[in-house]
Amino acid sequence: MKIGLDFDGTIVDCRPRQQAALVAAAAACGLAAPLDLDAVWQHRRHGATLVEALVACGIDATEARRIGACWVETVEDDDFLPHDPLLPDALAVLTRLAARHDLAIVSARRRPDGIARQIADLGLADLVGELHVVAPGAGAAAAKAEIFRRRKIACFVGDTESDLRAARLAGIPICLVAAGQRDGTWLARQSDDGAPGVPVLGTLADFENWMSDALLR
């Protein structure tokens, strides 16, 4: 069976990189007030875009848009990529999954070369058989869904509502993990629309346990 996995927030903790890039973007835009990084992150975990989170934290909307645009342009710069650590147990879980299944990372990034280098640097290259990178933005879900169909990915593990849309477009099962960019309450609301239940789990280790149980049913 081929399992698809998102990268940011599913395999790696993208909070340190995103926050480091945000500090740099705010400084580049001349923001005078200090940023409450934890508050911004929590607003994003509850479903806000970066600009919405900045405004909710008291940043002027025009300034928030300037900072957000700068952040988008720089968050995947080489200086920030090393800030992405593996989430706890991710390496061990992927090692066990790769021994029994084919693994494919399907992620929305602006720089395919950057994520490919991260996969190698984090010691995942021998575990991941395929890497597919789509452009971020409104078309990301449809682009991921096309990859799911074309590459015959049987199920997907992600951490955002975009991942959920992609899996549903492709008609494949998905598990959502709440260790990343959205919290469990937000993810449960997105999946609670009358469609078949979507497991909202804590981490990849919980997905591994869920899949083991599912295969026994």
pLDDT digits (tens, 9 = 90+) for 105-135: 999 999 999 999 999 999 999 999 999 999 9
pLDDT at 67 over 60: yes
**Same domain, residue pair 175 and 210:** yes
**Same domain, residue pair 97 and 67:** no
**Same domain, residue pair 168 and 105:** yes
**Same domain, residue pair 161 and 141:** yes
Per-residue pLDDT band at 214 (split at 50, 70, 90): low
Q: How many helices (H) and strands (E) does the chain have?
A: 10, 6
Which of 65, 82, 99 represents a domain boundary (last residue)? Answer: 82
pLDDT of residue 194: 44
* Alpha carbon separation from 10 to 6, 64, 123 (Å, rounded): 6, 27, 16
Per-residue pLDDT band at 32 (split at 50, 70, 90): confident
**Same domain, residue pair 51 and 106:** no
- pTM, 2 dp: 0.92
Q: Count how many domains the chain has.
A: 2
pLDDT of residue 188: 87
pLDDT at 216 over 50: no
Per-residue pLDDT band at 213 (split at 50, 70, 90): low
Query: For residues 16 and 88, is the Cβ–Cβ distance under 8 A?
Result: no
**Range of 53's domain?**
15-82
**Same domain, residue pair 41 and 145:** no
Query: For residues 119 and 105, is the Cβ–Cβ distance under 8 A?
Result: yes
**3-state DSSP call for residue 194?**
coil
**Same domain, residue pair 93 and 75:** no
**Same domain, residue pair 134 and 205:** yes
**Same domain, residue pair 33 and 63:** yes
pLDDT of residue 193: 57
Which of 82, 110, 128 represents a domain boundary (last residue)? Answer: 82
**Same domain, residue pair 124 and 64:** no
Which of 82, 112, 133 represents a domain boundary (last residue)? Answer: 82
Name residues whose C-beta falls within 8 Å of residue 119's C-beta, 6 or more positions apart in sequence. Answer: 7, 105, 125, 128, 131
